[in-house]
Amino acid sequence: MTIETLTEKRTPRLERFRSGAVLPAHLLALTPELRLDERRMRALTRYYLDAGAGGIAVGVHTTQFAIRAHGLYETVLSHVAASAREWDRPDAFMVAGVTGRTAQAANEARMAAALGYDAALLNVAAFKGCSEDEIIAHCDEIAQIMPLIGFYLLTEVGGIVLSRDFWRRFCEIENVIGIKMAPFNRYRTLDVVHGLVQARAENRVTLYTGNDDHIVLDLLQPFVVPREDERVTVRIRGGLLGHWAVWTRSAVQLFNRLRAAQDGDSASNELLALDSIVTDCNRAIYDAQNDFRGCVPGCHEVLRRQGLFEFTRCLDPNEVLSPGQLELIDRVYRDYPEMNDDEFVRANLERWLA
C-alpha cells in the first residue's frame, strides 16, 4: 500500500486529528507476573474512548519503552487496536510510538501500519550526538512508510535539543501531519512554531501540546510569527499527553472549554487560572520534583485508586514512586477534587472490565 492510498483510507480520522483532539498516551496494564493484563488493558482502552478521547497513542513513553525489550511491542499495539475496534469507535485516531535507529523504527512503523494505526509518533532520542542532517534523513525514510507526528521530547528524559531550522526542514517532509511539542521549554516550543511557519506548513501540520507544565495556556494562546511581509497566527489544536492518561473524562471536559474559548476569541480569568491548577496536579502525578522519575508509576497510582489497575509496578523494577510522591498525590486529590473523574470511573468500571 502506498503512502497516498494509506492516507486517503484514513481521511476521516486524519481530519479528526487536524481539527484537534484529546489523545491520551495509553498506559500498560500488567499482571503480578509482569505479563500483559489483557482484561485491564482492554478496560483502560474502553475508559479512554468512553471518556471522549479523540484517539489513543500506544507504544509511547507511558506505555513503557521496555515493552520492546520484553517482546511486547506488537502484542500491545495489536491488543489496543482490536479493543478500540470492538468498542465501536471507528473514528478514533490511532497513534503508534516509534523509536530507535532507522532499522528498528522502520520495522515498528511497518508493524503499526499493518495493524491499522494512522500515524507514527517518531521519537529520535536514539540519534543523540548525530547531526540534524542524519536525523532529517531518518525522518524522511520513516515518512515513506506511514504519516509522521514529530516529537520534541524534554531533555530530562532523553530528548535532544533541535534547532528552529530542523523543525522547518522536518515540516517540509510531505507526509508529516503533526508535531507533539514536549520540550517543557517556551523557547524550544517557539522554535517548533517558527519552523512550521517558515516551512509554510501551517495548514498541513497540526500542533499538539505535550508540555505537561503548560497545558491550559498552550491550548488558549495564539502564536504570531512573522514571515516575509506578513504575520501568521498559529494555534495548538490538541494534546497528546501522558497527563491525560488519567482523569481523562475531566481532561476532555476541560479541553472542550478551552476550544470554545479559542473559537470565541476570549478566555475568562477563571479559565486562565486553571493552568496553574493543572500544572500543580501534574507536579504530583508526574513527579516533576524528581525529574519525572516516578511519572509512570504516578499515573498507575491514580488508576489503582480508581480500580482500573491492581498495582503500580512497571516492567523496569527501578521505575517506582518517588519518596513523598504518594503524599503529593493525596494533596492534589484534596486540593482540587474537581480535577479527578473518580465518579465517572465508578459508574462504568464493571462494564469496562466485563
Q: What is the pLDDT of residues 38-50, one digit of tens each?
A: 999 999 999 999 9
- pLDDT for 301 equals 98
Cα distance between residue 202 and residue 195, in whole Å: 10
HSE of 114, CA atoms in CB hemisphere, 13 A: 9
Q: At 6, is the pLDDT very low, low, confident or very high (cuts 50, 70, 90)? A: very low
- On average, the pLDDT of the chain sits at 94
Q: Which residue's entry shows cell 523494577?
A: 317
- pLDDT for 319 equals 95
Exposed, middle or buried, 71 (CB in 10 Å: 0-12/13-18/19+)?
exposed
User: Which three cell numbers mark 120?
Assistant: 507514527
The backbone torsions φ and ψ at residue 150, rounded to the nearest 5 degrees and listed phi first, read -70, 160
Q: Which whole number is the average pLDDT over 164-175?
A: 98
Q: Which whole number is the average pLDDT over 3-20?
A: 71
- pLDDT for 266 equals 76
Q: Which whole number is the average pLDDT over 292-309?
A: 97
Q: Let me know: does 239 contact 255? Beta carbons within 8 Å.
A: yes
Q: Let me know: does 25 contact 57? Beta carbons within 8 Å.
A: yes
Phi-psi region of 205 (alpha: psi -120 to 50; beta: other; left: phi over 0): beta
User: In this model, does residue 263 exceed pLDDT 90?
Assistant: no
The pLDDT tens digits for 100-121 are: 999 999 999 999 999 999 999 9
Distance of CA 176 to the CA centre of its chain: 16
Cα distance between residue 318 and residue 73, in whole Å: 20
User: For residue 102, how many other CB atoms are within 10 A of its CB?
Assistant: 15
Q: Which residue's entry shows cell 497510582?
A: 301
- Alpha-carbon separation of residue 69 from 66, 73, 184 (angstroms): 5, 9, 28
- pLDDT for 5 equals 40
The pLDDT tens digits for 199-235 are: 999 999 999 999 999 999 999 999 999 999 899 999 9
User: In this model, does residue 33 exceed pLDDT 80?
Assistant: yes
Please report the sign of the dihedral spanned by the C-alpha atoms of residue 344, residue 298, residue 64, residue 235: positive
- Alpha-carbon separation of residue 262 from 97, 193, 209, 230 (angstroms): 29, 18, 15, 22
Q: At 330, is the pLDDT very low, low, confident or very high (cuts 50, 70, 90)? A: very high
DSSP 291-305: TTTTHHHHHHHHHHH
- pLDDT for 8 equals 47
HSE of 349, CA atoms in CB hemisphere, 13 A: 13
- pLDDT for 4 equals 41
Q: Which whole number is the average pLDDT over 45-56?
A: 98
Q: Give 31's DSSP letter.
A: -
The domains of the chain, with CATH numbers, are 3-253 (3.20.20.70)
- pLDDT for 10 equals 52
Q: Let me know: does 221 contact 248? Beta carbons within 8 Å.
A: no
